[in-house]
């Protein structure tokens, strides 16, 4: 059964019964059709090769974990109707790393990544494309070259709030991102793309990135990495999340080989025999479970185990 299939005679709230769980759905969420939602909020699907699930390793991990309880997760934010989830996932991973290393939890600049990052991985056919999608690991690579990331206070998010009209990042990959030369934009009303803007900084960063790493696709090893390392950037297929309001999303609800949304893995647990991940979204705190959703753990649900990465931070003075 498709999670988006419903009877129009049913009210705005109903329950989708999955394989082993029950998910509450808000049919009126977003005010968009599924097609509009995919084109305006999600990224263009990134195709990944399916990985056969193997028997999980015997690594010992705590029964449950939640970085929110340990102060490593900033408040939920709202990306608006743009494909900027990748930049939120990137920045919020770094926020957690900075907290764990320096004891400082501060929101970091999403707008910097959207306006300035034109990184591309030609060998894999992936690129960072501003408001049209990107990859957290490429965001880390850009920030390593740039020298660091600004705080949200110094370089606030404006693209998704209608307060600015950024152009595509300079020298973006036309082949991998598509031709957006017809994009209506005003570089001069941005903080980064205007003349002598923050896309060419010399100093002022909140924190710098010294390296990044990608983790195993074994979900027990991912849980161990989450506990040891901090909140992790992940990509998922989010087609079934438009109408989500609560519960554990089952593996049958989405295609694990079509990744179209970047989020932040912050914890895990179990409920009535169902293991789950706790994931921070960027659709505002009124969506889902106060801005979060739970996803089945151990079955590669929605491709959550396909692209799991984190940055490693250092004091920005180390690169100046």
Residue 26, CB-side half-sphere exposure with 13 Å CA sphere: 14
Query: In the structure, how many helices (H) and strands (E) does the chain have?
Result: 6, 14
CA distance 277 to 227: 12
CA distance 70 to 82: 30
Could you give phi then psi for residue 157, rounded to 5 degrees?
Answer: -70, 130
**125 CB neighbour count, 10 Å cutoff:** 12
- Residue 265, beta-bridge partner list: 232, 279
- Buried (b) or exposed (e) across 159-170, using 16+ Cβ within 10 A? bbeeebbbbbbe
CA distance 267 to 232: 9
- Residue 267, beta-bridge partner list: 66, 278
Just list the catalytic residues.
85, 261, 281
Tokens of 218: 């074994």
Helix (H, G, I), strand (E, B) or coil at 312: strand
């Amino acid at each position: 059964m498709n999670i988006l299939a419903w009877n129009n005679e049913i009210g705005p709230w109903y329950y989708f019964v999955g394989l082993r769980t029950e998910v509450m759905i808000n049919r009126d969420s977003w005010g968009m059709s599924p097609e509009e939602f995919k084109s305006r909020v999600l990224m263009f699907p990134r195709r990944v090769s399916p990985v056969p699930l193997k028997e999980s390793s015997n690594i010992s991990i705590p029964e449950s974990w939640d970085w929110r309880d340990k102060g490593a997760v900033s408040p939920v934010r709202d990306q608006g109707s743009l494909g900027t989830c990748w930049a939120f996932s990137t920045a919020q991973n770094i926020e957690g790393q900075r907290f764990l290393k320096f004891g400082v939890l501060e929101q970091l600049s999403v707008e910097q990544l959207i306006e300035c990052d034109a990184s591309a991985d030609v060998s894999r056919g992936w690129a960072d494309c501003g408001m049209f999608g990107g990859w957290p690991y490429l965001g880390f690579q850009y920030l390593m070259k740039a020298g660091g990331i600004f705080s949200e206070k110094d370089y606030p998010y404006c693209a998704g709030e209608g307060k600015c009209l950024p152009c595509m990042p300079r020298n973006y990959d036309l082949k991998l991102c598509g031709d957006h030369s017809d994009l209506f934009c005003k570089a001069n009303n941005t903080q980064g793309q205007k003349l002598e803007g923050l896309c060419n900084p010399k100093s002022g960063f909140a924190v710098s990135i010294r390296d990044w790493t990608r983790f195993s696709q074994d979900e027990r090893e991912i849980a161990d990495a989450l506990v040891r390392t901090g909140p992790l950037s992940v990509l998922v297929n989010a087609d079934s999340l438009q109408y989500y309001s609560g519960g554990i999303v089952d593996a049958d609800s989405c295609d694990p080989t079509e990744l179209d949304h970047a989020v932040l893995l912050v914890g895990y647990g179990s409920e009535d025999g169902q293991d789950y991940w706790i994931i921070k979204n960027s659709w505002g705190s009124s969506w889902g479970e106060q801005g979060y959703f739970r996803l089945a753990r151990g079955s590669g649900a929605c491709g959550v185990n396909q692209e799991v990465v984190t940055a490693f931070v250092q004091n920005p003075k180390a690169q100046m």
